[in-house]
A = this chain, B = another copy of it.
Amino acid sequence: MGLSFQVKTIFITLFLFSTSAFAAGDAHADPVAPVLLALIVILAVAKIGGEIFERLGQPAVLGELLGGVVLGNLILLNPAWNFFEPLRAHVMQENWAVVIDSLARVGVIILLFEVGLESTVQGMMKVGASSLLVALLGIVAPFFLGFGVSWFFIKELPAELAAAVPADFSLNYVHMFVGAVLCATSVGITARVFKDLGQLQKPEAQIILGAAVIDDVLGLIILAVISGIIAAASAGQALEVGALLRLIGTAFLFLAGALGLGVWLVPKLMHQLGKLRTGGVMLISALLLAFALSYLANKVGLAAIIGAFAAGLILEEKHFHHFREKLHLEQWLKPLATFFVPIFFVLMGIQVRLETFANLSVLGVAAGLTIAAIIGKQICGLGVLEKGYDRLTVGVGMIPRGEVGLIFAGIGKSLNVINDAMFSAIVIMVIVTTLITPPVLKITLARGNQKHSKSKPGQAGTNRLPRG
């Protein structure tokens, strides 16, 4: 190869870069070019951030989020570094930003679909009394603590919301929304942390995973109900109980209907689709179900991700046993998730405005929320009915809020219930709850394992393997 070849290559490389100003007119000015550039930066930052945080023993998602925070806030270092401002608009204006925003939204749909795939409808039904009780305690306690923190710090409506709603719009709706944000448990992060620690088969892990799934569904319903209440109140129909009941009914009926479809129609449909000869039928069938339920959920007034999650619950690996393809659905989905999901987390980071952190009261709210989020989930431990299990580990394992908290906060932002300052406080809460979980969990697990090995040697839980 030799030096002269290397010198030649460097020369050619430099020449190529120097000719980038040349460009033969706008003949080939492909509208996808700025999208590609944004994807290159976002995906590279996601991987660099993920790598750094994995090496620090933290979940990769945290690195993606913080990488996004750095990208979005470069403008604070130099006003000319405003490349990502189009991605921070309330409604995207530039075409490439519209595309990236949509890719991020498809990303979170694919993520919730994957999370849903971890469980089955039957598995949900069989979930132990402990999981249910842990989930309920893990929703009730953080909701009221979050409400209390919001009541303590927020004394007036966010400006944009106040301009849009009737004068009698109650501040309690804002407190309820903040409470709802604290209810979320991130099953993705929880499972990922347990997997990273090699502790997925512990009974405590199984209880947490079951509870996290129930939490997800209940949390999404709470979100739908509260969003519906706020939307109704904004339109000046605040206390119309009929609309509220219809909304709750719609949420339950959508899930019940989707799950009913799952038990009855999907196996038949998949049996027919399995006869197709063309390639990639398994992936496209699964995506079409996820997209269709996401679209339908959105149409009935729920968040699109509820539909994606329901689609994941419905679909089971056994529906695909007779398909010609040898790969499992999980293996088909993983590359799509690897591409799409980090776009969502980096974009969430980009949309964090660090200048709001300069406000001391934001840090106060963030501290209050974080304490409420942690204490609220510690009460979960009381829901463990079996003896000999480590209640502290269950409480700690329920702490991470992750993507679900961010999604709730994002919806709150789009409803104007959450202003920039509260959004920043919630992001700090998400970052802190996600950051403290792995080290604390290591400690409680080590402690619990010592106790465990004395009392119940060889106990190993089930073989269900959640997504990594």
**Residue ranges of A at the interface with B (Cβ–Cβ < 8 Å):** 1, 5-6, 8-9, 12-13, 15-16, 19-20, 22-33, 35-37, 39-40, 43-44, 46-47, 50-51, 54-55, 60, 63, 92, 95-96, 98-99, 101-102, 105-106, 109, 224, 227-228, 230-232, 234-235, 243, 246-247, 250, 253-254, 256-258, 260-261, 263-265, 276-281, 283-284, 287-288, 291-292, 294-296, 298-304, 327, 331-336, 338-339, 411, 415, 468
> B335–A24 contact, CB under 8 A?
no
Of the A-B pairs whose beta carbons lie under 8 Å apart in the complex, a sample of 29, sorted by A's number, is A9-B261, A15-B257, A16-B300, A20-B300, A23-B299, A24-B224, A25-B228, A25-B232, A27-B227, A27-B230, A27-B411, A30-B105, A31-B98, A31-B102, A36-B106, A40-B295, A47-B281, A50-B278, A51-B277, A54-B277, A55-B277, A95-B98, A95-B102, A280-B338, A283-B339, A284-B339, A287-B339, A336-B336, A336-B339
A246, closest chain B residue (CB) = B22
**What is the oligomeric copy number?**
2
List B contacts of A277 (CB < 8 A): 51, 54-55
A294, closest chain B residue (CB) = B36
List B contacts of A27 (CB < 8 A): 227-228, 230-231, 301, 411, 415
- Interface core residue of A23, A39, A102, A298 (most chain B CB under 10 Å): A102
List B contacts of A37 (CB < 8 A): 295
C-alpha gap A258/B13 in the complex (Å): 8
> Chain A: interface secondary structure?
helix
Least distance between A113 CB and chain B CB atoms (Å): 12
C-alpha gap A402/B466 in the complex (Å): 42
> B284–A47 contact, CB under 8 A?
yes
Least distance between A106 CB and chain B CB atoms (Å): 7
List B contacts of A276 (CB < 8 A): 47, 51
> B22–A298 contact, CB under 8 A?
no
> A284–B40 contact, CB under 8 A?
no
- Interface core residue of A227, A265, A291 (most chain B CB under 10 Å): A291
> B51–A296 contact, CB under 8 A?
no
- Interface core residue of A224, A304, A338 (most chain B CB under 10 Å): A338
C-alpha gap A109/B40 in the complex (Å): 14
Closest 4 CB pairs of A and B: A280-B338, A24-B301, A25-B231, A32-B105
A99, closest chain B residue (CB) = B102
| Known interface pairs A22-B301, A35-B106; 6 further A-B residue pairs with C-beta atoms within 8 A, sorted by A's residue number | A19-B253, A27-B301, A36-B295, A51-B278, A92-B95, A95-B102
> A43–B338 contact, CB under 8 A?
no
A32, closest chain B residue (CB) = B105
> B13–A300 contact, CB under 8 A?
no
List B contacts of A1 (CB < 8 A): 263-264
List B contacts of A331 (CB < 8 A): 327, 331
> A32–B102 contact, CB under 8 A?
yes
List B contacts of A302 (CB < 8 A): 28
List B contacts of A19 (CB < 8 A): 250, 253, 300
Least distance between A331 CB and chain B CB atoms (Å): 7
List B contacts of A264 (CB < 8 A): 1, 5-6, 9
List B contacts of A109 (CB < 8 A): 32, 36
> A9–B339 contact, CB under 8 A?
no
A96, closest chain B residue (CB) = B102
> B23–A300 contact, CB under 8 A?
yes
> A304–B30 contact, CB under 8 A?
yes
List B contacts of A106 (CB < 8 A): 32, 35-36
List B contacts of A303 (CB < 8 A): 28, 30
List B contacts of A40 (CB < 8 A): 288, 291-292, 295
C-alpha gap A47/B298 in the complex (Å): 25
C-alpha gap A36/B104 in the complex (Å): 13
C-alpha gap A54/B277 in the complex (Å): 7
List B contacts of A22 (CB < 8 A): 246, 250, 300-301
Which of B8, B63, B291, B332 contacts A39, CB < 8 Å? B291
List B contacts of A257 (CB < 8 A): 9, 12-13, 15-16
Which of B234, B265, B280 contacts A25, CB < 8 Å? B234
List B contacts of A26 (CB < 8 A): 231
